[in-house]
Amino acid sequence: MTSCASRTPAGGLGAGGRSSLSGKQYEISYGDQRVVVTELGAGLLSYRVGATELLDTFGPRDYPTGSSYGQLLVPWPNRIDRGTYVFDGVTQELPWSEPQAQNAIHGLTRWVNWFPVEQSDSRLVMGLTTHAQPGYPFVLKLRQTYELGRHGLTVTNSVENLGGTRVPYGMGQHPYFTLGTELIDDIVLTLPARTHFLTNDRSIPKTPPVTVQNTPYDFRSPRPVGDTVMDTGFAGLSRDRDGLAWVHMTSPMSRVRISVWLDKSCDYLQVYTGDTLPVVERRRKGLAIEPYTCASNAFNNGLGLRILGPGKRSEARWGVRSSMG
């Protein structure tokens, strides 16, 4: 493994010297697999197998405005109700990053420049230290690792509490997957979730989650997405003997198969069909499969919320496998 300081990032400057809006871009590869990660937010810009792009994503000179394409969501995924929560007896108020609904959404690091800590041909570690700020007066050491191997892509998020008090924490990521079909309607989806969350008119989940049985959100057996509309949180994940939960995507219109796995640290899952994306032409082009360590609004409902004492660390893993039929 070598230091990134001696390596040249891919795509940091576009043609004619124009800088990418997502900053420098770092590339790793293994066999015919290729991943590109952005300086901005340590986001997942591209995952190609051969000539096939597995992600519905943004352009190399662009940035993921209004859509969260591939973004890492820490120190919380999804929403915090009105940006307000109480932790260890102290009321904290975060700025509204979703002003129309008066919520704080998708954490604090999406629009921050991360730095490369380590890079080899097939492995990249991006790092960031967050310091105290209004609504989140804590100090975290963050590491986001992307690694390619014969079993596909593995993504690892690790966090260490550098401060002297306890810290609330959650992680998510927001990739959109594509099988190369025009729309996601033809995708045959398998979700290992027994329950899902209802939400209020501001997208805040109601608790506890309810069964998926006899609802449009029951994909425990494979079936087409069809016209189902989802921006839906799922829980009660079924797991294999190795403790992994699997989401499978196939299509009769494509030879590409994608499987997303979540380790035991990721007990929650968000699925988004993209029906409300701000650019109409991008709607339902990709299916967002979002691994979460906690539920939306976890700083208030406590579902899956991690509490890290001073000096304590935590990790979560998810990954992608693909095949060409």
CATH number of 4-324: 2.70.98.10
Which residues touch 59 (CB under 8 Å, ≥6 apart)?
A: none
Q: What is the pLDDT of residue 65?
A: 86
Q: What is the DSSP string of 104-141?
A: EES-S-TTSB-EEEEE-SSEEEEEEEE--BTTB---EE
Asked whether residue 4 carries a pLDDT value surpassing 80, the answer given is no
Distance CA 307, CA 198 (A): 25
pTM over 0.85: yes
Query: CB-based contacts of 254: which residues, under 8 Å, 6+ apart?
Result: 179, 180, 181, 186
Domain boundaries, the chain: 4-324
pLDDT digits (tens, 9 = 90+) for 175-204: 999 999 999 999 999 999 999 999 999 999
Residue 239, token pair as written in the block: 């797991």
Q: Is the pLDDT of residue 18 over 80?
A: no
Question: Is it the case that residue 229 has pLDDT exceeding 90?
Answer: yes
Q: Is the pLDDT of residue 121 over 90?
A: yes
Please write the tens of the pLDDT for every residue from 81-105: 999 999 999 999 999 999 999 999 9
Contact of 126 with 44, CB cutoff 8 Å: no
> Helix, strand, coil % (nearest 5) of the chain?
5, 45, 50
Q: How confident is the model at residue 10 (pLDDT cuts 50, 70, 90)?
A: low
Query: pLDDT tier at 9 (50, 70, 90 boundaries)?
Result: low
Q: What is the pLDDT of residue 21?
A: 96
263 phi and psi angles, rounded to 5 deg: -80, 180
